Amino acid sequence: MERNNFNIKEQKYTHLKESERYKIEVLLQEKNSIKNISNILGRARSTIYREIKRGSIFHLQSDLTKKKQYRANYAQNDYKAKGKNKERGLKIGNDHILEEYIRNKILKEKYSPDAIIGEIKDKGLKFKGMICTKTLYNYIDNRIFSGISNENLWEKRKRKKRHYKKLTRSRISRTNRMAKSIEQRPEAINNRSEYGHWEGDCVKGPKGQTTSLLTLTERKTLEEIIIKIERTSQEEVKNAIDHLEQHYGNQFKLKFKSITFDNGVEFLDWKSLELSINNPKKQRTVTYFAHAYSAWERGSNEVQNRMIRRFIPKGTNIHDFTEKEINGIQCWMNNYPRKKLGYKSANQLAQQFSQINKNSELDFVSL
């Protein structure tokens, strides 16, 4: 007796090929037994039985009677269709709750894959088919989730990292010689060991439009403040800072210990920015200036400004955005889980580090 198909060694299972299905059809038409077909193809009898059962259809005879026959093309089409619909051995499996959670975070809340997985772990959420960040990126690349692709992601995974050359000397304009250079900042600011040190800039609209956003980013917690100003001018920036002082009162000096700006002309009146509106002889904060053409020295603020561009793309007229919409952007940013913060949000950390009364929350400011 032949024992080719009865050895006790474990064999690696492989699916039937299309050519094998056509051989089965021909061999059945030649009245071969299941045993002979299995020997010819080198397949187990159970495999042949299952294949014939799956690929058999009722064929209408000339006398209008129906006869069940195996058809290779039908079996092959059925195999392909089921292959598309099966779970493909995905780690997420049939965990539709996790799939819907991911879909909602990406499409509605504009989360990155890394932020989604990081927040799930930080909150201790439990899902049956839990996956890691890399696996989620792979699923999106391969379009495992219908309706979600890399086009739905804010930044592509393979974005090249820019390399910057660090300047060794200050380059402050002649009209700003008396201003403090970033090189004069204390180490407590540089190493982010203390809360209350901010970076500032303006996000501008298209050419010819005057409305812009004054953005302030706290270095330790990445807390964000966005203030809409009608003109990118020194007067408007001063009015915005004055409004913040009025809002926070005596707590302003504790919350805004220093602000590091770029060399934009709107920040050149740094002396007025440092002096309190309530007591012009009293200093309310300290201003520093980064080197010219050195945006990376205010890296936290630059990253935050790019996040704002998720909602207000370049070339968009900022004047058209309502106070409620811009306040919504600010709230989204301050509640967004950040890898740099251990997937905590800026609001979570700001509550821990700020010496401000927790009930004193900054609402959107429009000037």
Assigned architecture for domain 18-85: Orthogonal Bundle (1.10)
Q: Which two tokens mark 160?
A: 């090249």
| Distance between CA atoms of residues 245 and 268, nearest Å | 19
Topology, domain 174-366: Nucleotidyltransferase; domain 5 (3.30.420)
Backbone angles phi, psi at 240, to 5 degrees: -65, -45
Query: How far apart (Å, rounded) are the C-alpha atoms in residues 155 and 108?
Result: 16
16's tokens: 């039937």
Q: What is the pLDDT of residue 211?
A: 95
With a CB cutoff of 8 Å and minimum separation 6, the contacts of 365 are 225, 227, 228, 240, 243, 244, 247
| Boundaries of every domain in the chain | 18-85, 96-152, 174-366
What pLDDT tens digit does each residue of the chain (367 aa) get? 444 544 444 556 688 999 999 999 999 989 999 999 999 999 999 999 999 988 888 877 767 777 888 998 988 888 887 766 554 567 787 888 999 999 999 999 999 999 999 999 999 999 988 999 999 999 898 888 878 888 888 775 445 555 545 444 434 444 455 789 999 999 999 999 999 999 999 999 998 899 999 999 999 999 999 999 999 999 999 999 999 999 999 899 999 999 999 988 999 999 999 999 988 889 999 999 999 889 899 999 999 999 999 899 999 999 999 999 999 999 999 999 999 999 999 999 988 776 544 444 445 444 4
Q: Which residue has the tokens 């007067």?
A: 235
Other CB atoms closer than 10 Å to residue 172's CB: what's the count?
18
Q: Supply the pLDDT for residue 121.
A: 93
Strands (DSSP E) contained in the chain are 56-60, 66-70, 180-181, 197-204, 212-218, 224-229, 258-261, 286-289, 365-366
Which residues, 6+ apart, have CB-to-CB distance to 192 below 8 Å? 219, 220
Closest to 271 in 3D by CA, of 335, 156, 151, 178? 178
What pLDDT was estimated at residue 149?
A: 85
